[in-house]
Structures are given as C-alpha cells and as structure tokens.
Amino acid sequence: MSDEMGIFEAMYNCRAMRRLDTKPVPEELLVKLIDAANQAPSGSNAQNARWIVVRNPDVKRELADLNRKGVEAYVGPNVDNPGSLPHHSEEKRRRMVASVIWQMEHMHEIPALIIACMEFEMKVDAATMAMGGGSIWPGIQNLLLAARALGLGAAPTTLGLMDHAAVTKALNLPETMAAFCLIPVGYPLGKFGPVTRKPVSEIMRFDQWS
Amino acid sequence: MSDEMGIFEAMYNCRAMRRLDTKPVPEELLVKLIDAANQAPSGSNAQNARWIVVRNPDVKRELADLNRKGVEAYVGPNVDNPGSLPHHSEEKRRRMVASVIWQMEHMHEIPALIIACMEFEMKVDAATMAMGGGSIWPGIQNLLLAARALGLGAAPTTLGLMDHAAVTKALNLPETMAAFCLIPVGYPLGKFGPVTRKPVSEIMRFDQWS
C-alpha cells in the first residue's frame, strides 16, 4: 500500500531514543519533522503550536545547562534507589535513569534540540500553561512517529523547561510564547525496538470504569 | 514496504471527522484503537492513561447531554458571528461550527464514544488536571491516526468534560481518575481528505524565535 513505514509499525516501535550520534541531521529532514508535527489537530483548530530547531552550539549549551538542573532535581533523590517508583521493575528503572543521565551529559553535542512551543493571545502565566496541552502534544507525537519513520532517534523531555524566565531568554521568546517540551533529535547509537506496555485489558473498560 | 497505511499519509489526511454513521464498529477495531493509543509515551513512562469505550445507550445519552451544555456555552455566543475568531476565514469557521453542531445533535447515536482518562496517585483536583496533558494527548493522537488508517472517523472534543463531578458520575470514575478528552468514533458519512495547515515557514524557526 505504501513505500513509507506503516502507521502501526511506527507506533509499536517508537521507543524513547536518548543515546544519539553527533552526526548532523540534514536540514531537509528536520523541516520534514516539523511539517509532520504541524499536521496535528489543535483546539478550535487555532494552530498555535510553534517549533524551534536549535543547532547553534551556544543555545544548545544553555538548554543543556537548564536540562542538567532539571534532571538533577528529578533524578537526584532516586538515583541510588531506582526501585522506589512503583510502576517499574528496579532493573528497568535503572536503565531509564542511566539513559536520562547519558542524555544530560551529551545534550549539548546532540545535532538538533527541537523545542515545542505554544503561542497564546495573552502574556503567558501558569494558568495559560495549564491550558495548552491538547494543542501541542498531538504535534509532538506526530514528530516522534515521523522521526521513527525517517530513522531518527528522539525522546521528549520537560525537565529542562521548568524555569520559564531562563527558557524565554535562551530562546528569545516573546512574552506570549511558552516552551512545553524539548526533543533532542539525531541518528541513534542504539537499536530501534518495540515498546513494552501494559496489556490493553488493564487500561481499557467498556461503558464505565467500574 | 508495508501493507498498512503509511505514517505520513495518515498524518496528512487525518481531518476531524464529525459526521458519523450509526453503523456499529466491530469490537475488534475498537480494541485495536485503544491498543494503538496505549503505545504512546507518558511522563516517566508511568503509563497512567486509561480508556473507556462507551457503547451503552444510557451512558452515551448522559455524555451527549453534557456535550450539549459545553457546545452551547462555547459556540452559542459566536454562532451568528462566525468571523469573530481571527484565525479562520468566515466560511471555514461556519463549516466547523456546523459540524460541531451536527456532532452535538447526533452524539447519542454515534456507535462508540471513547473517553481518554488519566489515573493519578492522588485525588483529582484542578492542579492534578493541569499536569496530565503530556501523558494523555500523545495517546489520543495515536488513536486518531489509527482510526484514519482503519477507515474510521474520529474527532477529539473537550467541551463536554468541563463538569468533573457530572463526568465522574456518568462514567463511574474513582476519585483518582479524570477524563481529558471525548472522541466519538464511527464510519464516516463524508469523505476523508487532506488537512490544511499554515505553511511550515510561519510556525518554525532555527535556534531562537526572534
């Protein structure tokens, strides 16, 4: 039916790929990712998602520093106690933390850091931020699937974006814009593979939850 | 490469399909949609998205009534003044409002109303709701793309879910769960077609926004 990767094949094999090569990604492919993201739906079809593709070494370094602070705050208390989160086996948790730390150490060397932003009609505050999710995350998912289909690794993270003032300065955002997600993109060092998820019987009901 | 619909073909042709036939959708396909949604990423891989597929006529009627209230509050003030939203031409806006109203009038007859929910570790309040977006909307986008690939129509809406207490009662949700999005699903009455979006040059920058 198609010479593209199949839609279900992409979804079922779209692991978070955090270990990425320094090899540059052609600009044409980066634009293709953003164009795919831009096809996603938005509330009232307002199309207010905005995308910044950071390749400049100085801006990447600023984002990497912000991410380091976020990762240390998040992972720090759990790093020697990876079994403390209830939803993962200790071994799986340990592997995830290791890859988050790899990403933190190497973020400034990753070829492209894509920032998913929203443009609002008013100055951004905490209440605005809370409203935006449904108009930005569908596009992020399109971007991740498109990256998978093009052989690029990617993994969304929000840990480096908590300091809104610092992010605004690093990316020169107007006061009506806010950054929601950072997606490092590059050629993967590891192998693509299937995701593992809970069985559908655990996460689905008919008619009512209970 | 694949006997599935291609990933880019699905993304670029995934219109909001609101006018849907009453013809039932096989349960196997409904489960396939939820399984596809369940492959999406979630914060810390917590996998706390939950999905309710409503086919029961009484529950559908309750959700349709809640949606009617939400649509009337949203569309009401603009229904005779469709040019008042800046991001659409008047004609395009008028067509969108007409299809939202069609959906409102027929929602109780649509074969399946899928509710995307999140399960939290604590009792849900407004602050919890604001946190969940990045762990539920990627799955909703997977579901919409999967529906497109399977020849099913779908369109996400949040207008009927504003009254948390009423939704909790209709769906028998525990106090740790909240509904984020309602996606009516069925065979389309109209034709699938390409989405129209702003050109990528308007929504993308390199390195910094300005």
DSSP characters over chain B: -BSSPBHHHHHHT------B-SSPPPHHHHHHHHHHHTTS--GGG---EEEEEE--HHHHHHHHHHHHHHHHHHHGGGTT-GGGSTTS-HHHHHHHHHHHHHHHHHGGGSSEEEEEEEE-SS---HHHHHH-HHHHHHHHHHHHHHHHHTT-EE--B-GGG--HHHHHHHHT--TTEEEEEEEEEE-BSS---------HHHHEEESS--
Query: Which residues 3-42 of chain B have a CB within 8 Å of chain A?
Result: 3-12, 14, 16, 31, 34-36, 38-41
Alpha carbon distance B71, B74 (integer Å):
5
Question: In chain B, what residues touch A206 (CB-CB under 8 Å)?
Answer: 52-56
Which of A43, A53, A180 has its CB closest to that of B206?
A53
Residues B59-90 have pLDDT tens digits of: 999 999 999 999 999 887 666 655 555 556 78
Domains belonging to chain B, first-starting first, are 7-56+111-203 (3.40.109.10)
CB-based contacts of B207, cutoff 8 Å, min separation 6: A52, A53, A54, A55, A56, A59
Extract the tokens encoding A109: 């060397």
Is the Cβ–Cβ distance between A10 and B7 less than 8 Å?
yes
- Residue B81 confidence (pLDDT): 59
- Residue B94 confidence (pLDDT): 86
- Residue A125 confidence (pLDDT): 82
- Residue A78 confidence (pLDDT): 64
With an 8 Å Cβ cutoff, are B2 and A11 in contact? Answer: no
Is the Cβ–Cβ distance between B202 and A42 less than 8 Å?
no
With an 8 Å Cβ cutoff, are A87 and B197 in contact? Answer: no
Cα torsion for B31, B33, B35, B38, to the nearest 10°?
-140
How many Cβ pairs within 8 Å bridge chains A and B? 254
pTM above 0.90, yes or no: yes
- The residue among B127, B50, B141 whose CA lies nearest residue A130 is B127
Pick out chain A residues at pLDDT < 50: none
With an 8 Å Cβ cutoff, are B204 and A31 in contact? Answer: yes
Residue in A closest to B43 by C-alpha = A157
Q: Which of B15, B142, B152 to mutate to test the interface with A (most CBs of A within 10 A)?
A: B142
Kindly indicate whether the ipTM for this predicted assembly is greater than 0.90, answering yes or no: yes
> How many Å lie between the alpha carbon of A200 and the closest alpha carbon of chain B?
6
- Residue A90 confidence (pLDDT): 81
- Residue B80 confidence (pLDDT): 60
Question: In chain B, what residues touch A209 (CB-CB under 8 Å)?
Answer: 50, 52, 117, 171-174, 177
Residue in B closest to A50 by C-alpha = B203
Query: Which residues 111-140 of chain B have a CB within 8 Å of chain A?
Result: 117, 129-130, 132-134, 136-138, 140
> How many Å lie between the alpha carbon of B188 and the closest alpha carbon of chain A?
18
Is the Cβ–Cβ distance between A87 and B47 less than 8 Å?
yes
- Residue B126 confidence (pLDDT): 75
Is the Cβ–Cβ distance between A114 and B114 less than 8 Å?
no
With an 8 Å Cβ cutoff, are A197 and B47 in contact? Answer: yes
With an 8 Å Cβ cutoff, are A3 and B1 in contact? Answer: yes
Alpha carbon distance B38, A37 (integer Å):
20
